[in-house]
Amino acid sequence: MIKKILIVDDSPVARRMLKSSIPQNRGYEIYEAVDGYDGISKYQEIKPDMIFMDLTMPNLDGYNAIAEIKKTAPEAVIVVMTADIQQKSISRVIELGAFLVLKKPPRTKIVEDVLIKVEDSLKSRSGGKQ
């Protein structure tokens, strides 16, 4: 079951748009990070059930943040949310271990569908026990 969600994006507007696309009635705890370094730090601190990760950020981009998180937490569920939907970029993040890639801007129905897919994946990992 998803309880904690971490949004990693340097744009406050993008974080706000994504937050508004996440169903408010499910009691999710939503955390935010402003770049890859902040995302790694917050991941280690709060251990979210899933991450929405932007790719293009200052200081440390999403590609490197995904790689770093996956080194210490291969089970981390990372959904990439980006405007960069070139096949090369999508292939690279999937190779790094991203769960899914979504195109910005977020759409409520698509975000809800992704949350269901993540929930199903987490249930199957735990043998149905959540």
Structural domains of the chain, count:
1
Is residue 74, in this structure, part of any structural domain at all?
Answer: yes
With beta carbons less than 8 A apart as the criterion, state whether 82 and 62 touch: yes
With beta carbons less than 8 A apart as the criterion, state whether 39 and 76 touch: no
CATH of the domain at 38: 3.40.50.2300
Is residue 31, in this structure, part of any structural domain at all?
Answer: yes
Is residue 66, in this structure, part of any structural domain at all?
Answer: yes
Range of the domain at 118: 4-125
pLDDT in tens, the chain (130 residues): 899 999 999 999 999 999 999 998 999 999 999 999 999 999 999 999 999 999 999 999 999 999 999 999 999 999 999 887 788 989 999 999 999 999 999 999 999 999 999 999 988 877 654 4
> So what's the pLDDT on residue 128?
55
Is residue 130, in this structure, part of any structural domain at all?
Answer: no
pTM of the complete model: 0.94
Q: Give, as one character, the DSSP assignment of residue 30.
A: E
